[in-house]
Amino acid sequence: MPVVLVDHVSHSYGRRQVLDDVSLAVEAGHSLAITGKTGSGKSTLLSIMIGLERPSRGAVSLAGVEISRLSRRRAARLRLDHLGMVFQAGELIPTLTARENAALPLMLAGRKGAEALDRADHLLSTLGVDSPDVVAESLSGGEKQRVAIARALANEPAVVVADEPTAALDERTRDDVCDLLYSLPVTAGCALVVVSHDAAVSGRADRALTLDGGRLIESAPVGGVGLP
Amino acid sequence: MHRAAAALTAALLALVGALFVVVDQGYDARIARDAARTPHVVDPSTPAAQDAVAWYTWRGDALGVLDAQVLYLAVTDPGAPPPPGLPEWPAAGDVWASPALLELEGSQAYVARYGSLAGVIQLASLVDDGERIAYVGVRAEDVTPPHHWVPITGFGVEPRADGGGYLGAALYHGTKRSLVMGLVLFGVAPALVAAIALLSLGAEERRRHLAQVQAMGGSPRQLRAALLRVFLGPAAVGSGLVTLLLVASTYCTWRVPIAGISVPGADYGSLTGIGALLAVGLLAAAAVVALVLWLHRAATLPRVGQGSAPRPVGARGLWVLLLCVDLALANWGYAFFYTTDPSLASFISLSACAVALVLLVPTMGVVTSGLGRVLGALALRTGSGPVLVGAREVQHVPRATTRITSVIAMAIVLSAQLQVWGSQSAPSFREAVASDRVNADLSMLVDLSTEERAARARLFDDRPAGTGFVALGGEGLPDRVLGDCEVLVHVFGECPESPKPLEAFRGAAAPQVWLWGLAPDAVVERADGDALAEATLLAAVSLDGRPISQDALLRELGQRVLPPPRVAIPQEETIVGAWLGVDKARWYAVGGLLALVISLALAALSSLAEVEKMAARHGVVAFYGARRRHFLSFALTLVGVPAAVAAALGACVAVLMSWAPTSVPGAVVRMPFDSVLLMLAVAAVYSAGVSVVAALRIAGRRGARALSV
């Protein structure tokens, strides 16, 4: 059963159609990269996929639940339980330490502070973050993305979605972060969706789809990734 | 949002600017009315006296503890124009009273002291509709010049150049200059700060937008034009509406709350006044646009720096806190033990307050930062994510929180202090109140200094039943107490054969308050007839133990001497004067109220702007946890708790600093607790209200949408 299912989704802003009958599915343990030029509809597809926007037509399911029909509150709860998000700019809270940032989703989910911090310490240690007690605004770009990945993994999600995760990183750090991300389907058993315009990043996915003018123009099912 | 803020700011600035016009025009109008109704006195020894149309004399009086003025007029030329506000000259025995005088309890008896009520003085001739004044008509044949009666040729004198008044001087509540200073302090300064806070709403978003346009090659001129297009319209609407309302208000009379001053709209409704109001409206709209350009000067004026907001001091702030408390304690201690030097006590009180206010900013920085640390630790223990985020924000970025909490704490300290100053009673006032209680109307002072000797003699020949007169003689402080045997025995327990030092009777004398004001070497002496008639000050003493009625005594004396001599409760002038001072000092309370309201409004706006700005950084919280309680916890931690702590700290300082001056006997406000508790309640409501509004705003704007997806 696909962890992420995008079923004939179309979306338009006013008269401008951004997505046109897009469908895709991702199963646990597999990775999918979505590429495309600026304005091709990547960000809109991502927003719809994670429940920040509702599609004009079609449906999106996350972990078997149709997120595109949920209320804002229920969608947030679904994300908290089943989705890990790695944002383009990290979106770490600058005044929290690395471990507090990583523990935040657990605390929002109602875990006790000590339990959440233990889990955060474990994740940060696994991801090679050496300074868990440093406030986020003092971390380097690579460290920030590692902390962001740790935060995305905190609740043991069914799917991790990464939006341009290496956009602001140098080549070496980009490769390190990519190694970490693409190991997740194997080590954590989750599905991975990466949105990136960088061929070096998207090329490492099990499958890469390209959006052009709101349509998926290429699809080649490999393993658990493909069009339904 | 920013359009509404611009309109509101322009409205606020237009209102404050218009107050200057109202003060200027209104004050001049009051002065002009006062001057126009003031009798034009001429020297009786000059030829001009031949043109006199009436005799005139004036007497300050009191009804209870409120002052009143009585103008006696004896017309000699009934064809001359009557006094302004009266349709005719007051006939003998007629009294024309102002509406405010007639509204007072006991006014009927008061009027009966002088005659029968013939009519009400028209508002157009009064400085203020709160003025207590009466015209009393007297027969010209009863006038006994040259004593205190003067000829007048009509009414109307030149307005005084110093801005003070004539008959209505007590109603001016300070000079025009002091009112303008008050407006600058309590109006312009808070309004400018509020304007900046209002225009800062959404400034971050605008700044980002301008930076983008600038990066795309937009010139400062184009950016200025863009800002002008957005803000000029709303600013014009805001100031225009207020200006229209103010122009409309020229057709009615409105009252200043608490101080009770009424302002007739017609006073500033002249062409000049309306023109000035319109000019102020235009200036307010221009000021809003100028402020917006200034706020975005980095984009619109590229070479100008952005400046920096104040940052709280570090650990040394703890010493500052201690110093602050020390100052308050020193003030408390000094005022508690040494209340007899009001000037020095006021200086210490004012300087301690000023220092405490200045030091509150860094103190609040340290306190809120520490509070953030404590809340953060609690949040980690309990596992509350939103509280953790809010607490760390307070801990690491205390600038915004410091600003808000400092405003709250300062508003409370200042408001409490203003209330204390406003109700501060001098030692002499407290003594006067105490003596009034001891006197219990068993004695009255009768001032005969303006009476002829024959008139004085008439009083002794035919004194009211149950009342004895003691004559108080001597220059300056009376040093001779003269009386017949009956009254001396009543007061001193014996009738001395020869002059005897007053000191000898100190233990035996009845508690007569008028004795307190005599010279230390005064003597008590038996005297009759002519000797008594020499005295110009009498003490009327109740011989039967019943309180003397001031009104009844005045009426009885009025049958012997016209106008009747002034009858006063001992130390009445001090009491009346002190109450007048308290009345004027209510302006402090008005200022305090204004400062508190503006400060809290400013703090609320600043809070909302800061919370919104911070919420944009915390979109991840909304991404994962969009429950209302999450937003509420976040907003409460960020605003509610620091505000509550600020209110509590401000209240502590306020209580410490106002305890002593309000605890002394005779203080108008016994304790500051009521006001401080009220302000705490206001602060609590404010904290909760702003937190809820902030939470709703964060929830409403869907914080997760702010993420860079």
Chain B interface test: which of A96, A118, A121, A161 (most B C-beta within 10 Å): A96
Confidence of residue B706 (pLDDT cuts 50, 70, 90): very low
State the Cα–Cα distance between residues B130 and B98, nearest whole angstrom: 8
Q: Please tell me the least confidently modeled range out of A104-118, A204-218, B188-202.
A: B188-202
B615 touches chain A (CB under 8 A): no
**Interface ipTM:** 0.84
Amino acid B334: pLDDT: 57
Of B385, B392, B623, the CB nearest to A85: B623
Report which residue type is found at B1: M
Amino acid A120: pLDDT: 92
B615 pLDDT above the threshold of 80: no
Amino acid B342: pLDDT: 57
Average pLDDT over residues A72-96: 86
State the Cα–Cα distance between residues B572 and B554, nearest whole angstrom: 15
Q: Decide which of B577 and A204 is more confident.
A: A204
Amino acid B258: pLDDT: 64
**B578 contact partners, CB below 8 Å, separation of at least 6:** B425, B426, B428, B429, B432
State the Cα–Cα distance between residues A63 and B170, nearest whole angstrom: 81
Looking up tokens 């940052």 gives B311
B214-218's contacts with Cβ under 8 Å and 24+ in sequence apart are: B214/B299
Q: Report residue B472 as tokens.
A: 């108080």
Average pLDDT over residues B361-365: 76
Sign of CA dihedral B93, B96, B100, B102: positive
B393 touches chain A (CB under 8 A): yes
A38 pLDDT above the threshold of 50: yes
Amino acid B708: pLDDT: 45
Q: How far is B614 from chain A (nearest CA, A)?
A: 10
pLDDT tens digits for B498-554?
888 888 876 665 556 677 677 778 888 888 777 777 788 888 888 888 888 877 787
pLDDT tens digits for B26-76?
888 888 888 888 888 888 778 888 889 999 888 777 776 677 888 999 999
Of B618, B704, B708, the CB nearest to A88: B708
Amino acid A193: pLDDT: 92
User: Would you call B621 and A110 a contact, using CB atoms and an 8 Å cutoff?
Assistant: no
Confidence of residue B343 (pLDDT cuts 50, 70, 90): low
State the Cα–Cα distance between residues A150 and A148, nearest whole angstrom: 5
Q: What percent of chain B has pLDDT over 90?
A: 11
Burial class of B693 by CB neighbour count within 10 A (0 to 12, 13 to 18, 19+): middle
Chain A interface test: which of B394, B620, B627 (most A C-beta within 10 Å): B620
Contact (CB, 8 A) for B368 and B642? yes
E strand residue ranges, B402-465: 443-447
pLDDT tens digits for B634-656?
888 888 888 888 888 888 877 77
State the Cα–Cα distance between residues B617 and B697, nearest whole angstrom: 14
Q: H/E element holding A218?
A: strand A215-218
Sign of CA dihedral A195, A199, A203, A208: positive
Q: How far is A129 from chain B (nearest CA, A)?
A: 20
Starting at the earlier edge strand, list the strands of the sheet with A4-13: A65-66, A57-62, A4-13, A16-26, A225-226
Q: What does DSSP assign to residue B185?
A: I
A89: chain B residues, CB-CB within 8 Å? 708
Of A96, A106, A110, the CB nearest to B392: A96
Confidence of residue B283 (pLDDT cuts 50, 70, 90): very high
Amino acid B147: pLDDT: 58
User: Would you call A46 and B388 a contact, using CB atoms and an 8 Å cutoff?
Assistant: no
E strand residue ranges, B36-143: 39-41, 54-63, 66-75, 94-97, 116-120, 133-137
How many beta-carbon pairs under 8 angstroms link A with B? 94
- Locate the chain A residue with the closest alpha carbon to B377: A113
pLDDT tens digits for B539-552?
888 888 888 887 77
B705: chain A residues, CB-CB within 8 Å? 52
pLDDT tens digits for B118-149?
999 987 778 888 888 999 999 888 787 655 68
Contact (CB, 8 A) for A198 and A83? no
Amino acid B690: pLDDT: 79
Confidence of residue B217 (pLDDT cuts 50, 70, 90): confident
Amino acid B278: pLDDT: 92
pLDDT tens digits for B367-414?
888 888 999 999 998 888 888 988 888 887 666 677 777 777 877 777
Report which residue type is found at B274: I
Cα separation values, B183 from B17, B21, B187, B195, B290, Å:
9, 11, 5, 16, 22
Q: How far is A111 from chain B (nearest CA, A)?
A: 6
Amino acid B80: pLDDT: 92
Strand A57-62 relative to strand A65-66: parallel, antiparallel, unpaired? antiparallel
Which of A197, A181, A178, A167 shows the shortest CA–CA distance to A84? Answer: A181
Cα separation values, A55 from A38, A59, A71, A72, A75, Å:
20, 7, 14, 14, 14
User: Would you call A107 and B384 a contact, using CB atoms and an 8 Å cutoff?
Assistant: yes
Q: Decide which of A211 and B628 is more confident.
A: A211
Which of B620, B390, B397, B394 shows the shortest CA–CA distance to A91? Answer: B620
B242 pLDDT above the threshold of 50: yes
The CATH number given to A2-218 is: 3.40.50.300
Amino acid B415: pLDDT: 73
Q: How far is B378 from chain A (nearest CA, A)?
A: 9
Query: What's chain B's average pLDDT?
Result: 77
Q: Is A210 helix (H, G, I), strand (E, B) or coil?
A: strand
Confidence of residue B177 (pLDDT cuts 50, 70, 90): confident
Amino acid B306: pLDDT: 35
Q: What does DSSP assign to residue B340?
A: S
H helix runs in B250-337, sequence order: 271-295, 297-300, 317-337
Confidence of residue A15 (pLDDT cuts 50, 70, 90): confident
**A191 contact partners, CB below 8 Å, separation of at least 6:** A3, A4, A26, A27, A28, A29, A30, A31, A32, A158, A159, A160, A185, A224
Confidence of residue B567 (pLDDT cuts 50, 70, 90): confident
Q: How far is A212 from chain B (nearest CA, A)?
A: 18
Amino acid B312: pLDDT: 41
A154: chain B residues, CB-CB within 8 Å? none
Amino acid A128: pLDDT: 84
Of B383, B388, B625, the CB nearest to A80: B625
Q: Is B440 helix (H, G, I), strand (E, B) or coil?
A: coil
Contact (CB, 8 A) for B514 and B422? no
Q: What percent of chain B has pLDDT over 70?
A: 73
Contact (CB, 8 A) for B561 and B143? no
Rounded to the nearest angstrom, the gap between the alpha carbon of residue B321 and the centroid of all alpha carbons in its chain is: 31
State the Cα–Cα distance between residues B344 and B355, nearest whole angstrom: 16
B703 touches chain A (CB under 8 A): no
Amino acid B578: pLDDT: 61
User: Would you call A76 and B617 a contact, using CB atoms and an 8 Å cutoff?
Assistant: no
Interface of A with B (CB under 8 A): 43, 46-47, 50, 52, 72-73, 75-77, 79-80, 85, 87-89, 91-96, 100, 104-108, 110-117, 135, 151, 163
User: Would you call B383 and A116 a contact, using CB atoms and an 8 Å cutoff?
Assistant: yes
Which of A228, A189, A186 shows the shortest CA–CA distance to A209? Answer: A228
Residue B436: CB atoms within 10 Å: 18
Which of B120, B131, B125 shows the shortest CA–CA distance to B63? Answer: B131
